[in-house]
């Protein structure tokens, strides 16, 4: 069994490192570039001319400073540091309309924050659908003294890709009637995929399947992972997909899962892993003694009926001939709608020894009913019959300066869920739009029960990966059907539930999580599927409002909406 960095030891080591923390300071420019992500030319959002963006490599306790210049000609931009809790710097979270104003074209904004714990993370755009346009990259935070034993590591950033521009997608999703964007044309591994051809066509008898051929320096050519026999490699895997739930497997090799969303877990070994948008994992791969073979790594679609071919890359032992190809076909992706298999994988996760258990009881329970609805013929996603519309004035600024633009939602009674038939389309499909947010005092324990339901038409319920900014939370459990208050709580794992920042809500089911309000700020909690968030599937938590009102927030964070007017008039009599 792998040696795990116990939580308490990690805290001590990070504290020691923080005393002599280094500064990771970078200058970034964001602009559109012509690119060939899947062997077909398209337009990507690049950072310093790179797609995906540069990998940030830091040590827990380091200060990260990013000077981000917007070189887009007609639109704003922000970047969210996914998995970084932003303790003491909530305005650097990078959520447009929630924690900051979008950065205007030609302007530079500085993100300044501390990476307080080790883990595999990533960053991405959080304005409009810029993540879907390719604004993303890996972020690795290392332990000051790593206790996992391995000989090398690779990063695998997974994404999906459309040939339709994101601006066109946004318009289509906002139209009446909605024009669904369809399944992605390609899946990408580290920004590289193949459309209308397969690297493994030579192993298939499927008629019409074309073998991919690559020229030197092709932007869509796969990156080969070169390994040595009898070694252990850490694969750091992150999914920044806009829509697709994925499954990853390595032909001929087992995967030992050791980390999830920046938290160590009790190790377990599998043939493949499911990974939803917003999730990150570390797995250990042990190589064989045979030094001359090549093996396919496959990434395929789960959770939706796939219309996208697998993404493939190659694991190559160093002594394998350059001209050699894998002799066995890629692993077959498990059936897309085998949800029992999906839930079984989620139930394998337990916290590593030494992590704190959750508090035994919660102070507040928030039920979030996920439904698909209509507003004046426009298809929307709603939570408790409210479709989120973020305001032009960042919430954190409205709270800081006591502006009247803010409204707070009351936590709906559990009767809302109890009275709703989750197995059928909504009786009344009409919903309302609101920018209201939920408010929590500091130092309390909150349970969130996510409840899934049927969509507008047919008998369909979709997977929704929910991501919480500013926090890790304990995943207490999953269940089929409607959550039963007073009954299902008895099934909670209160002994060693995993700490995560993203969790799947399965079709026609519920997911329960618990967190402590120990990080004052305004935090997004939303479905990480890009079109769903665009259509209103999210909520916002204001935590410790009295403390936010006293925060020293840099003025450049709030140069839009009502906060801009307030700052311009400050000091005038």
Q: What is the pLDDT of residues 279-289, one digit of tens each?
A: 999 999 999 98
State the SS3 of 547-565.
HHCCCCCCHHHHCCHHHHH
Predicted confidence (pLDDT) per residue in 128-143, tens digit: 999 999 999 999 999 9
3-state secondary structure of 504: strand
The rounded mean pLDDT for the chain is 94
Residue 305 reports pLDDT greater than 60: yes
Query: Which uninterrupted H or E stretch holds 170?
Result: helix 166-174
pLDDT band at 17 (very low <50, low <70, confident <90, very high): low
pLDDT band at 571 (very low <50, low <70, confident <90, very high): low
Nearest residue to 82 via CA among 543, 523, 470, 522: 470
Residue 13 reports pLDDT greater than 60: no
3-state secondary structure of 568: helix
Maximum C-alpha span of the chain = 80
91 touches 99 (CB < 8 A):
yes
> How far is CA 143 from each of CA 8, 20, 182, rounded to the nearest angstrom?
13, 14, 41
End-to-end CA distance of the chain: 68
pLDDT band at 19 (very low <50, low <70, confident <90, very high): low
Residue 540 reports pLDDT greater than 50: yes
State mean pLDDT over 353-377.
96
Q: How many helices (H) and strands (E) does the chain have?
A: 8, 32
Nearest residue to 270 via CA among 258, 261, 278, 280: 258
Nearest residue to 60 via CA among 94, 87, 79, 27: 87
Angle (CA) 404 406 407, round 5°:
120
Q: Is the dihedral of CA 390, 391, 392, 397 positive or negative?
A: negative
Cα(320)–Cα(316) distance, rounded to whole angstroms?
A: 7
What was the pLDDT predicted at 62?
98
Predicted confidence (pLDDT) per residue in 232-270, tens digit: 999 999 999 999 999 999 999 999 999 999 999 999 999
Percent of the chain with pLDDT over 70: 95
Query: Which uninterrupted H or E stretch holds 66?
Result: strand 63-70
What was the pLDDT predicted at 541?
97
State mean pLDDT over 220-241.
97
Q: Which domains does the chain have, with CATH numbers?
A: 6-346 (2.60.40.420), 364-568 (2.60.40.420)
Nearest residue to 521 via CA among 117, 78, 83, 99: 99
> How far is CA 469 from each of CA 59, 115, 473, rounded to the nearest angstrom?
21, 14, 10
């Amino acid at each position: 069994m792998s040696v795990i960095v116990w939580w308490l030891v990690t805290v001590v080591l990070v504290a020691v490192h923080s005393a002599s923390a280094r500064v990771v300071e970078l200058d970034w420019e964001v602009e559109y570039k012509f690119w060939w992500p899947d062997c077909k030319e398209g337009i990507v959002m690049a950072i310093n001319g790179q797609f995906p963006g540069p990998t940030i490599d830091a040590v827990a306790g380091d200060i990260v400073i990013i000077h981000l210049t917007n070189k887009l000609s007609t639109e704003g931009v922000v970047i969210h540091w996914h998995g970084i809790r932003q303790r003491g710097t909530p305005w650097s979270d990078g959520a447009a309309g929630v924690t900051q104003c979008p950065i205007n074209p030609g302007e530079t904004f500085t993100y300044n924050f501390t990476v307080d714990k080790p883990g595999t993370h990533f960053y991405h755009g959080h304005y409009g659908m810029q993540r879907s346009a390719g604004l993303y990259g890996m972020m690795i935070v290392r332990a000051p003294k790593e206790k996992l034993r391995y000989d090398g590591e690779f990063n695998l950033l997974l994404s999906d890709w459309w040939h339709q521009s994101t601006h066109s997608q946004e318009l289509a999703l906002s139209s009446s009637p909605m024009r669904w964007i369809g399944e992605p044309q390609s899946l990408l591994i580290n920004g590289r995929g193949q459309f209308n051809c397969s690297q493994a066509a030579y192993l298939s008898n499927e008629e019409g399947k074309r073998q991919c051929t690559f020229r030197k320096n092709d932007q869509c050519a796969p990156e080969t992972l070169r390994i040595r026999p009898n070694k252990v490699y850490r694969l750091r895997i992150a999914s920044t997909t806009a829509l697709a739930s994925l499954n990853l497997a390595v032909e001929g090799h087992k995967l030992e899962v050791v980390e999830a969303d920046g938290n160590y877990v009790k190790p377990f070994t599998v043939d493949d892993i499911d990974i939803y948008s917003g999730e990150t994992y570390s797995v250990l791969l042990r190589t064989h003694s045979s030094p001359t073979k090549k093996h396919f790594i496959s990434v395929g679609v789960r959770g939706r009926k796939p219309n996208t071919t697998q993404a493939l890359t190659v694991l190559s032992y160093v002594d394998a001939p350059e001209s050699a190809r894998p002799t066995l076909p890629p692993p077959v992706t498990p059936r897309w709608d085998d949800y029992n298999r999906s839930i079984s994988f989620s139930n394998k996760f337990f916290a590593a020894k030494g992590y704190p258990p959750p508090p035994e009881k919660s102070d507040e329970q928030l039920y979030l009913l996920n439904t698909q609805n209509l507003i004046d013929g426009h298809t929307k996603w709603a939570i408790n019959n409210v479709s989120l519309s973020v305001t032009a004035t960042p919430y954190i600024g409205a709270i800081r300066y006591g502006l009247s633009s803010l409204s707070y939602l009351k936590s709906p009674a559990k009767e809302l869920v109890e009275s709703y038939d989750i197995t059928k389309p909504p009786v009344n499909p009409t919903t309302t739009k609101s920018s209201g947010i939920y408010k929590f005092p500091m130092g309390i324990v909150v349970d969130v029960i996510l409840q899934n339901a049927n969509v507008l038409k047919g008998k369909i319920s979709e997977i929704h990966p929910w991501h919480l900014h500013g926090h890790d939370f304990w995943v207490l459990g999953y269940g089929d059907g409607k959550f039963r208050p007073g009954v299902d709580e008895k099934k909670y794992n209160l002994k060693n539930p995993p700490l995560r920042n993203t969790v799947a809500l399965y079709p026609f089911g519920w997911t329960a999580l618990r967190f402590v309000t120990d990080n004052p700020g305004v935090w997004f909690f939303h479905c990480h599927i890009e079109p769903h968030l665009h259509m209103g599937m999210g909520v916002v938590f204001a935590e410790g409002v009295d403390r936010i009102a006293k925060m020293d927030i840099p003025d450049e964070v709030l140069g839009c909406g009502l906060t801009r007017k307030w700052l311009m008039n400050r000091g005038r009599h």
